[in-house]
Chains A and B, each alone.
Chain A
Amino acid sequence: MHDPRNDWRYVFHRTGRAIALSTHTVDAVQKSMGSQYPVVAIPSPMRARQRLTAGRRPPDLISTRTLRVHGRVVDSACMGLSPEALVNPADEDGTLFRSDDFRYLSSDPNDFPACRITDGTKVYAHSAKSDEVLLEPGEQWPVDSGWDLPPLATTRLDLQGIIYTAVLTPEAGRKNWLDLLTAFCWTFRDMPEATLVLKMAGTDLSLYHRQLVMLLTKLSPMKCRVIAIHGYISDEDYQSLILATTYYVNTSLCEGLCLPLVEFLSAGIPAIAPNNTAMADYISDSIAFVVASYPGVPTVWPHGDLEINCTFTHQLDWQSLSSAYQCSFAVACKEPQRYTDMSMRAHEAMYSYCGVETVKRQLQRFLCPDITPHTVSDGETSSLAETATS
């Protein structure tokens, strides 16, 4: 049966007002409902956590930090990634071959200018495990599960260098994780000091794991490290991940808000992110390395079964993303004060943007502007504010 609520204007008309999470969405609503329609942008409130990380120095490249996670962990450092395995050697590629080619066609690398890969051997600067380290009982190093989703296990990860983290649901195509991963691995192919941690959520984890392994194979050999954690992890493990992160990465084509990005910024982790859609409300180059993106790409609504383009999304600039990775790495290594400043500003900016007090005030102004606001000090609560934020 046709549900009238599929036309959101019907719902907005019935409710009479709405709260959106971003200015971008407010504009979209008012485009449909008129500029006088009562709609306001109020972000999800972020409780300040991880004050320790705000304004901290970037990590050095040598010391090891340990991250323990109970989850399904993939680690490129322990995988036998082989691009040659992607083809059947019996298939004919049309290239001429003569058995004396090996003798007569020069293979001395010194004959040519240096190219991207000096030889075909895989070069992993990381080891997934340190021989001298004793594991805690019940924990293990990452295992190479190949194409299969790795088993759930308490996994120890020894991290070094600059850690980039992204938290996303890959089935949402707008998350654009292909660009995120390919630009990272291409930019840092010669840099063992760069690690990407992908925290992947969603329903079809096996499918995305296989896609990940295929992509890593096609991007290899590379000296950087890619770690993926598939599925749910505990709040404690998530906090450990935040603590271990140097930069948060977002490469979305559009966002309604992006809670993980806001969360990491609140903890004082500078970001690499575009400033489109909702992110325009809080991403700036004082707290992030802004990735260029361009509006106007037609697309379908993410829900429902309409097969015609009804709206627009952005197109990400991959080259700009690669530059952002490069710049961020250089800042972390060579401009520690700049990193520290960005970290502190990120924490402060999120506090102003979506701290509990800010959100309470905005809600009160929108929902009950006639009631005198009750000033809340530390330890005190007001029943009105409790109701508004619950």
Chain B
Amino acid sequence: MKLLTYTSTPARDLQSQLGRPEYSYRFVVQEFRPLLRSLGDVIEVEHPEWEVDAIYEACRRHGEECVFLCFMPPNKTPVGLACPTIPVFAWEYEALPFEAFGGKPRNDWRRVLASVGSALTHSTYTVECTRAAMGNQFPIASVPAPLWDRMQSPREPLSAPAILSIDAIVIDSHLIDLFAYRRSAINAALPKVLPVPPGCEFGRHNIVLDGILYTAIFNPFDGRKNWLMMVSAFCEALRDRSDATLLIKLTHHDPAEIIPEIIEAIYKMGPMQCRVVLVHAYLHQSAYDLLLAATTFAVNASHGEGQCLPLMEYMAAGKVAVAPRHTSMRDYIDHDCAFVVDSTEEIGTWPHDPRQIFRTLRQRIHYHSLVAAFRQSYYVATKEPAVYEAMSRAAIDSLRRYCSMEVVRPRLEQSIRERLDAHAANPVSKVSNVCA
């Protein structure tokens, strides 16, 4: 069987494309690659509009099955191909986009999904939302990125103190002049953006990772990530704890514009002994592993998640989470493996809708609950090591049930098999000679 894959961010461009649309789909494709290779020959295409059917036709001639897994949202998925096409998409809102805005029918995802005939996603939540839009019979399954197995490789034990020595922009709230980033200073500099604090510019930095370390990895320009509340609640909760650190790894090719805003949020919280560290770097494996090993808790405060790869990775490696259990996180976050943060609905928009109109609901994180989760987690990490250990084991087990190869593989195989069988019974002829 040939499995064709496509996503818009080429692997070689990932570092420069961080934070751009659909960049996270590249990480997903990378996670699926080993599993897909165990099912057949994997070919990554760069121009699906003409490459896919050419390969499909060749396969058909010599009797080989061929399926196209498009790791893109439905509005960017080619339709009308002769090759059976399965979009593999992430979605974190309760309403699937159902409006053909901008005069483009494919902005109504239902029309695209009806045309391609089936889909794959990464959580039971998104399966439910899709079926609510498409009908209960619509073929869609949850196949989270199968990263659990690779996170089980034995790691080097951490030698204290852990020092992360990297080429990066590193901002440590204890070492900079926060006052220079107060709101009036930021406003006075407009339209210019305040530069990174002196000494923090890109270069070799050594970050001491000790004490109770909370790590969050996200694109700071992504409003869904709710970083303002995360920073504020951390500072509010652990203000007096000199051994508590929140480390935020900024996943974006150029975070210069947002860094002053994050520093201002820290300044606004007033005097504190806890530490907030911002890191902008593309970490190589050993640095990434060191950060993971030194981390006590993985943090998430989002309004919604399609799966959340960083959180999944850390939990699969035995890190306890501070996170809500809404949307896709419902599948792997519970009170056994996480300090659960409460949330309820609020009005929301589809992030890619240029009109930004209110068509759906998203989750409003309860601030006081996030503060409580920080405090409770800190207490457990410092005073209840046995509880932490039990939660750590529960995290590993929860993620095994969510995204191990053992669990994901049969679902993926079955979905592909059902799709190929349906296609064999009723092959779709090409709707036009020009495909897009």
Contact = CB atoms under 8 A, between A and B. Distances in A.
Contact of A95 (B80, B98, B102): B102
B186 to A, nearest CB: 10
A367 interface: no
Contacts of B359: 116
A183 B347 contact: yes
Interface stretch (A10-18, A55-63, A107-115, A276-284): A107-115
Interface string A354-385: 00000000000000000000000000000000
Contacts of A104: 79-80, 115, 431
A100 B269 contact: no
B14 interface: no
Interface residues of A, number: 52
Interface in B319-369: 344-347, 349, 352, 354-359, 364, 366-369
Interface stretch (B50-58, B129-137, B276-284): B129-137
Nearest to A102: B105
B205 interface: no
Interface string A307-327: 111100001011110100000
A97 B103 CA distance: 9
Given A116-B95, A294-B367, A86 B344 contact: no
B75 interface: yes
A105 B364 contact: no
B112 A105 contact: yes
A176 to B, nearest CB: 12
Interface stretch (A44-52, A133-141, A295-303): A295-303
A298 B99 contact: no
B236 A86 contact: no
A207 to B, nearest CB: 18
Interface in A52-100: 83-84, 86-87, 89, 91, 93-98, 100
A217 interface: yes
Nearest to B8: A94
A9 interface: no
A219 B183 contact: no
A4 interface: no
A6 interface: no
Nearest to B184: A307
Contact of B114 (A111, A182, A308): A111
A5 to B, nearest CB: 22
Contacts of A185: 358
Interface string B21-49: 10000000000000000000000000000
Interface of A: 83-84, 86-87, 89, 91, 93-98, 100-102, 104-107, 111-113, 115-117, 120, 179, 182-183, 185-186, 217-220, 294-298, 300, 305, 307-310, 315, 317-320, 322
Interface of B: 21, 75-80, 95, 98-108, 110-112, 114-115, 132-135, 182-184, 232, 236, 267-270, 344-347, 349, 352, 354-359, 364, 366-369, 371, 431-432, 434, 436
Given A307-B183, A309-B268, 7 more contacts: A101-B105, A102-B105, A116-B95, A117-B98, A220-B357, A296-B371, A298-B268
24 contacts: A83-B355, A83-B357, A84-B355, A86-B357, A87-B102, A93-B107, A94-B352, A96-B75, A96-B104, A97-B105, A102-B105, A104-B80, A104-B115, A113-B132, A113-B133, A116-B359, A217-B357, A220-B357, A300-B268, A307-B184, A309-B268, A315-B367, A317-B364, A319-B345
